Chain A
Amino acid sequence: MNGIKILLITGVAFIAVYFFIRLRNSLFDIILLLSLIAAAIIFIIFPETTNSLAHKLGVGRGADLVFYTSIIIFWFVILKLYARIRKLEQIITQIVRKDAIEEADKPANE
């Protein structure tokens, strides 16, 4: 076990704890999270496994494969966040609109 492995595993562990505290409600989330954590730890301890997987998919190095997949995952996460932001924006708009219409008045009374 060399330094970088310990560093990465500690990082993954912190993220895992953080997420477990936050989403305890859905079984699907827990399973997904567990498998992601397991995969991350396996790849950290045995980096060669990414190499063989990469070769099967026609990618030169394991590190490249990890890089490509993370780009796609990040895009997905960004889109999900955008969807969330839009939703929040619509809710805020509805609240502000309702409030504004209820208080509609002649300008002199404002």
Chain B
Amino acid sequence: MSAPINNNSTWIIVPAYNESTTIQKVVGDLLGYGYNIVVVDDGSNKSLAPQLKNFTSIYFIRHKVNMGQGAALQTGISFALQKGANWLITFDADGQHSSTDISTLLTPLQSGSTDIVLGSRFLTDGKHNAGPFRRLALHTGRWINFFLTGLYLSDAHNGLRAMNRMAAQKIDLKENRMAHATEILFAIKEHHLKYVEVPVTITYTDYSKSKGQSVFNSIRIFFDLVLHKLFE
């Protein structure tokens, strides 16, 4: 399990839906580290490929129809596993994450003591500029996650995560939309994956706020989760 982390077997999965304003900057920031990068275009109205054509080292996958972030992540994970990835990182395309946090995420994996590392904006040292309503929604989300999974985390629905190959193989996301964040916790619980939270920086810009989920979307997530519990 303690294969040393080399950037060659580290894969960064960037699910993107209509992120044409930010995708170049996000991918450009990630390039310097030597990780493998795969952008999953989740059926954007206009393919993101033309904007990425100068990045010759990355991979590009495009869903023919829009299916949601959960579906895009799973596609990226399956692809990276096929390519022999040992370490997988999920990274949002709207520019809210910081590429410098990636090494923080990889450190606990490197020691072999952890299978999955979750980014948290609410841990000490974590930084964010979420408004009061978003904070309230996130904290409610934590409690719902605790209620449904028994895992009490300091953050909910943080898109920045890292996992080893074993954990990635165990996780099989069926929730196409945003409820996948809790579904990952279900998988942690079910397969007894070792997890740890690390502080990360989340920068909401006007763009990411307009692109991202509205606070009211959390009601839909909750509904999806109830259905997941009922039918899966």
Residues of A within 8 A of B (CB): 79, 82-83, 86, 89-90, 92-93, 96-97, 99-101, 103-108, 110
> Using Cβ atoms and an 8 Å threshold, which residues of chain B touch A101?
61, 75, 78-79, 82
Minimum Cβ distance to chain B for residue A72 (Å)? 16
Are the C-beta atoms of B79 and A108 separated by less than 8 Å? no
Tell me which of B62-70, B129-137, B144-152, B191-199 binds A.
Answer: B62-70
B153 within 8 A of A: no
Q: How far is the CA of A89 from the CA of B74 in the complex (A)?
A: 14
Instruction: Name which residue of chain A comes closest to B48, CB basis.
Output: A107
Cβ–Cβ contact B230 & A100, under 8 A: no
Query: Contacts A100-B63, A107-B60 hold; do A93 and B71 have CB atoms under 8 A apart?
Result: yes
The residue that A107 contacts in the complex, of B52, B67, B82, B227, with Cβ under 8 A, is B52
Whether the pair A97, B71 counts as a contact (CB closer than 8 A) is yes
Q: What are the residues of chain A within 8 A of B52 when measuring CB–CB? A: 107
Alpha-carbon separation in the docked complex, A110 to B54 (Å):
12
Q: Size range of the interface on B?
A: 20 to 34
Q: Whole-angstrom distance from the CB of B160 to the nearest CB of chain A?
A: 23
A100–B176 CB distance below 8 A? no
Chain B residues closer than 8 Å to A106, beta-carbon distance:
56, 58-60
Evaluate contact between B231 and A107: CB separation under 8 angstroms.
no
Classify the secondary structure of B's interface with A: mixed
Task: Report, nearest first, the 7 A-B pairs whose CB atoms are least far apart.
Answer: A110-B49, A107-B52, A107-B60, A108-B53, A104-B61, A107-B49, A97-B75
Q: Is the CB of A96 within 8 A of B64?
A: yes
> Would you call B63 and A86 a contact (CB within 8 A)?
no
Contact in complex: A99, B79 (CB < 8 Å):
no
Give the complex CA separation of A93 and B56 in angstroms.
28
B174 on interface, CB distance cutoff 8 Å = yes
With beta carbons under 8 angstroms apart, the residue of B38, B55, B230 that contacts A79 is B230
User: How distant is B173 from chain A, measured CB to nearest CB, in Å?
Assistant: 9
Residues in B neighbouring A79, C-beta threshold 8 A = 230
Chain A residues with CB below 8 A from B75, complex form = 97, 100-101
CB of B39 within 8 A of chain A?
yes
**Assembled-state Cα–Cα distance A15/B203 (Å):** 57
Contacts of A105 in B (CB 8 A): 59-60
- Bound-complex Cα distance A107 to B38 (A): 10
Partner pick for B65 among A82, A96, A103, CB 8 A cutoff:
A96
Cβ of A86 to closest chain B Cβ, rounded Å: 6
Given A86-B227, A107-B39, A107-B58, A97 and B49 contact (CB-CB distance below 8 Å):
no
| CB proximity of A53 to chain B, nearest CB, Å | 31
- The answer, yes or no, to whether B114 is at the interface (CB within 8 Å) is no
* 6 residue pairs bridging A and B, Cβ less than 8 Å apart: A83-B230, A90-B174, A93-B74, A101-B75, A104-B60, A110-B50
**Chain A residues with CB under 8 A of B110:** none
Chain B's closest residue to A84 (CB) is B231
Q: How far is the CB of B43 from chain A (nearest CB, A)?
A: 8
CB distance from A97 to the nearest CB of B (A): 5
Whether B64 lies near A108 (C-beta < 8 A) is: no
Query: Which residue of chain B has its CB nearest to the CB of A83?
Result: B231
